[in-house]
Amino acid sequence: MVHVTNAPPARRPLAINLANSPRAAQCDDCGARHAGLCDALSDEDLTFLARAAQRRTYQAGEPIMQEGDKAAYFFNINSGHVRLSKSLPDGRRQITGFASTGHFLGLAKSDKNVCSAEAMEPTTVCRFNRPSLMAVFEEFPALERKLLDVATHELVLAQEQMLLLGRKTAIERVATFLLAWAAREDLCPAGHLPKPNAALQLPLSRTDLADYLGLTIETVSRSLSQLKRDGFIDIPGIHGITLLKPQGLAHIAEAEL
Amino acid sequence: MVHVTNAPPARRPLAINLANSPRAAQCDDCGARHAGLCDALSDEDLTFLARAAQRRTYQAGEPIMQEGDKAAYFFNINSGHVRLSKSLPDGRRQITGFASTGHFLGLAKSDKNVCSAEAMEPTTVCRFNRPSLMAVFEEFPALERKLLDVATHELVLAQEQMLLLGRKTAIERVATFLLAWAAREDLCPAGHLPKPNAALQLPLSRTDLADYLGLTIETVSRSLSQLKRDGFIDIPGIHGITLLKPQGLAHIAEAEL
DNA sequence: CGTGACATTGACTAGTATCAACCAAAGTGG
DNA sequence: CCACTTTGGTTGATACTAGTCAATGTCACG
């Protein structure tokens, strides 16, 4: 291994040598440059990371990784939405989460993928060989720290999803989802509700939604219809939902007051 | 910040000074010495970590942290079992996981606890002020790496639990739980089934089990009774279960073959 | 032996799944 | 350009799993 010198903090001559390589340019116009992992590095250091990356694109519906397959790569998403899922042998499927720009796939320290990932729309990623990325981590502890932040945040989301799946009713699940998606995509200040009439663009089919919420598509459809009937939302199109009364949705989502 | 020297690998004079302090002795006979976080450090370095710790014990049922309260501490469990849970305002509760010797609480990088933790039996922990532990992390990157491993493993478990909560039937949930608990507590070689007649000791009440599996206590009870009736398990006592046919349980748990 | 906490079992109900019909939008091909 | 098909979504009728309510059982403890 390369040893850290005790002299001035210039970390790796290597990074400097690559500063003007074509790879560096790739990052400049990348949608994920200031998101997720990449955001933890300086332009200079990023070139070092970029050296280990291969750009790759996936079509809508194309599998990125398959549960149970040998875990050969890590992925960092540059653009697009990805769904993560686990399935039972008889085909029942649970979507465990969604990943988009700046998110990181393949965290699990296992030799097999523990879940599947599929592009939900045209998606570009940076793909890393596991050994080479591990080597990069050795050099940049900031990356590992960032990864820890990401993982703990995912864990918090997972716990909330467990509460939803284990204890909420169908309509509560749908209301919770709508607000969470608004918080994720839209711009509602951290911890606050989206403003009335916020327009959501869902890249999800009803099937995805059902598999995420632990319901059937029929129940999802009925729940959405009921929310519309009761004036909480409008459904201008299959993939568009307007939150007419976020406050009311929040009330349903938490079953409180 | 302190700079790493390039000379011999003696890391911090501080640690050496404390090597014979009373705290060091505490770790020697700690059940968690070679588990979780502590396992990532040498005896010498551990004294440094121990300096930041306060030992504390909790009675069965006593809350260790409360969802929504200010997140003041991290905890490392030395002995005992702890349940982690989230609740809805109307009282519905979801247990998101269990923690025992060597497990770490308070990972979330939030100023409020995102879940509650309660001792399920007499439990001892090392408690750390968040700022002081953060400082320790700065000095020992091995700890952060270990924490990342822990967090990603938790994430894998969480995903499996989501699949269980969202898609499995009551009896599948119970069968899955029994096998998972056997793998956790007992000694079935990684990825294998426990041997027939493995005796489980559950420190859980039926209520805990129900809140973990997203069911009611009645349904848990009925499912266990059915598994017993069908010869898969025996129930010698409230907190004891014998796995008569682990293979059969696995079959039910995955709904396959 | 009585009391209380916890677990089991039974009868009934409610919420969601299943099955099926219908609908709308987007291709597709003559 | 317009039937025809395909795909995905909605709505309705019915079934079934798990929840609710209630009675009974078991065990530990005073």
The C1' atom of D9 and the CA atom of A80 lie apart, in whole Å, by 24
pLDDT band at A49 (very low <50, low <70, confident <90, very high): confident
What's the CA gap between A41 and A48, in Å, rounded? 10
Among A231, A157, A238, CA closest to A202: A238
pLDDT band at B6 (very low <50, low <70, confident <90, very high): very low
Q: What is the mean pLDDT of residues B86-99?
A: 96
Burial class (CB in 10 A: 0-12, 13-18, 19+), A238: exposed
Percentage of chain B exceeding pLDDT 70: 89
CATH match for B24-150 among 3.30.300.30, 2.60.120.10, 1.20.1250.20, 1.10.10.10: 2.60.120.10
- List the 95-114 stretch of A: residues with Cβ below 8 A of B: 96, 107-110, 114
Nucleotides of chain C touched by protein CB (<7 A): 6-11, 15-20
User: Domain residues of chain B, as ranges?
Assistant: 24-150, 168-253
The C1' atom of C10 and the CA atom of A36 lie apart, in whole Å, by 55
CB atoms under 10 Å from CB of B29, counted, come to 7
Q: What is the mean pLDDT of residues B229-243?
A: 95
Cβ-Cβ contacts under 8 Å for B130 (sequence gap 6 or more)? B71, B72, B73, B74, B106
Architecture of domain B168-253: Orthogonal Bundle (1.10)
What's the CA gap between B157 and B97, in Å, rounded? 9
pLDDT band at A210 (very low <50, low <70, confident <90, very high): very high
Contacting residues of A for B109, CB less than 8 Å apart: 149, 152-153
A181-209 confidence digits (pLDDT tens)? 999 887 778 778 999 999 999 999 999 99
Say if residue B14's pLDDT is above 70.
no
Q: In this predicted model, which residue has the larger pLDDT, A64 or B140?
A: A64
Say if residue A126's pLDDT is above 70.
yes
Cβ-Cβ contacts under 8 Å for B207 (sequence gap 6 or more)? B217
Say if residue B237's pLDDT is above 50.
yes
Nearest nt to A228, CA vs C1'? D10
Helix (H, G, I), strand (E, B) or coil at A92: coil
Most A CBs within 10 Å, among B3, B5, B88, B168, to test the A interface: B88
Nearest nt to A167, CA vs C1'? D19
pLDDT band at B255 (very low <50, low <70, confident <90, very high): low
Name residue, tokens 């700079």: B3
Cβ-Cβ contacts under 8 Å for B123 (sequence gap 6 or more)? B57, B58, B64, B77, B79, B80, B81, B82
Supply the pLDDT for residue A8: 45
Most B CBs within 10 Å, among A11, A83, A84, A94, to test the B interface: A94
What are all long-range contacts of B29-36, with beta carbons under 8 Å and residues at least 24 apart? B30/B78, B31/B78, B31/B79, B31/B101, B32/B76, B32/B77, B32/B78, B32/B79, B32/B101, B32/B102, B32/B126, B35/B101, B35/B102, B36/B76, B36/B77, B36/B101, B36/B102, B36/B103, B36/B104, B36/B146, B36/B150
User: How far does chain A reach from its first CA to its final CA, in angstroms?
Assistant: 59
CB contact under 8 A, A90 and B213: no
Say if residue A4's pLDDT is above 50.
no
Structure token digits, residue B208: 């805990």
Least confident of A43-57, B51-65, B69-83, B208-222: A43-57
Q: In this predicted model, which residue has the larger pLDDT, A17 or B50?
A: B50
Say if residue B50's pLDDT is above 70.
yes
Structure token digits, residue B87: 């609740």
Percentage of chain B exceeding pLDDT 90: 66
Name residue, tokens 């085909």: A91
pLDDT band at A2 (very low <50, low <70, confident <90, very high): very low
Most A CBs within 10 Å, among B130, B136, B146, B148, to test the A interface: B148
CB contact under 8 A, A88 and B163: yes
- Computed over every residue of chain A, the mean pLDDT equals 87
Least confident of A38-47, A91-100, B57-66, B98-107: A38-47
* Interface check A134 vs B, CB under 8 A: no
What's the CA gap between B129 and B73, in Å, rounded? 5
Nearest CA in chain B to A143: B145
Q: What is the mean pLDDT of residues B227-256?
A: 93
Helix (H, G, I), strand (E, B) or coil at A235: strand
Name residue, tokens 């129940």: A219
Query: CA A125, B160, B199: angle at the middle one, nearest 5?
Result: 150
Q: What is the mean pLDDT of residues B151-167?
A: 97
- Computed over every residue of chain B, the mean pLDDT equals 87
Say if residue A165's pLDDT is above 90.
yes
CB-CB: which of A109, A158, A255 is closest to B159?
Answer: A158
* Within this chain, domains A24-150 and A168-253 share the same CATH topology: no
B122-142 confidence digits (pLDDT tens)? 999 999 998 888 888 888 888
Angle between helices A130-139 and A43-51 (to 10 degrees): 150
Say if residue B22's pLDDT is above 80.
no
CB contact under 8 A, A145 and B144: yes
Q: In this predicted model, which residue has the larger pLDDT, B236 or A257?
A: B236
Strand C contacts (Cβ < 7 A) comprise A 169-171, 214-216, 218-219; B 205-207, 217-218, 220-222, 224-225, 235, 238
> Rg of chain A over CA atoms, in angstroms?
21
Q: In this predicted model, which residue has the larger pLDDT, A11 or B84?
A: B84
- Strands (E) across A80-150 are located at 82-87, 93-99, 104-105, 116-119, 123-129
What's the CA gap between A69 and A61, in Å, rounded? 18
Least confident of A41-45, B100-104, B243-247: A41-45
Supply the pLDDT for residue B109: 85
pLDDT band at B60 (very low <50, low <70, confident <90, very high): very high
CB contact under 8 A, A214 and B165: yes
Helix (H, G, I), strand (E, B) or coil at B118: strand
pLDDT band at A23 (very low <50, low <70, confident <90, very high): very low
Supply the pLDDT for residue A3: 47
Say if residue A151's pLDDT is above 60.
yes
The C1' atom of D4 and the CA atom of A243 lie apart, in whole Å, by 38
Helix (H, G, I), strand (E, B) or coil at B7: coil
Least confident of A21-25, A78-82, A155-159, B249-253: A21-25
pLDDT band at A223 (very low <50, low <70, confident <90, very high): very high
